[in-house]
Amino acid sequence: MSYADLRKGRFSAPGHEYLVTTVTNGRLPIFADFHCARALVHALREAGDAGMADWLAWVVMPDHFHALLTLGPRADLGSVMHLVKGRSARLINARLGRRDRLWQPKFHDHALRAEEDRAAVARYIVANPLRAGLVRRIGDYPHWDCVWL
């Protein structure tokens, strides 16, 4: 089954903004390991460097990540997520010497509408570690970035 088949009716258009969330298989807290979290960040940057997405805000939580992105001119959402999840899985599984599936096969997406407040969405994303009780100040959490804050 291809990523295009995962959710019929998914809207994916270059230049549009999306809030995406994906979760590790079994909700394992793989990204509690600093180096594993940075491997996911590396995969995000690879997608950005390839022109597939501009990452407007993101946070890597112990068992999932959230991101606000703008699709690149020749990209679709499924391809971006396939690259990020595939590359990060290869890096992390090699590091940990594991062969198990790292990610749940699907991801959640929401295409932002014109009237939605992008800065509020970005604040929601980066405040995840605070809401989860992982830190007392977002500046204390190492795995996030945002172009607005």
Which DSSP category does 113 fall into? P
Which SS3 state, helix, strand or coil, does residue 12 take?
Answer: coil
| Residue (of 103, 57, 100, 56) closest to 82 by Cα position | 103
Question: What mean pLDDT is reported for the chain?
Answer: 93
For the segment 110-138, the average pLDDT, to the nearest whole number, is 96
User: What is the topology classification, in CATH, of domain 14-146?
Assistant: Alpha-Beta Plaits (3.30.70)
Taking the C-alpha atoms of residue 110 and residue 146, their distance in angstroms, rounded to an integer, is 18
Taking the C-alpha atoms of residue 37 and residue 92, their distance in angstroms, rounded to an integer, is 9
pLDDT of residue 3: 46
For the segment 24-35, the average pLDDT, to the nearest whole number, is 98
Taking the C-alpha atoms of residue 32 and residue 54, their distance in angstroms, rounded to an integer, is 25
Provide the whole-model pTM.
0.91
Tell me which of 4 and 46 has the higher pLDDT.
46
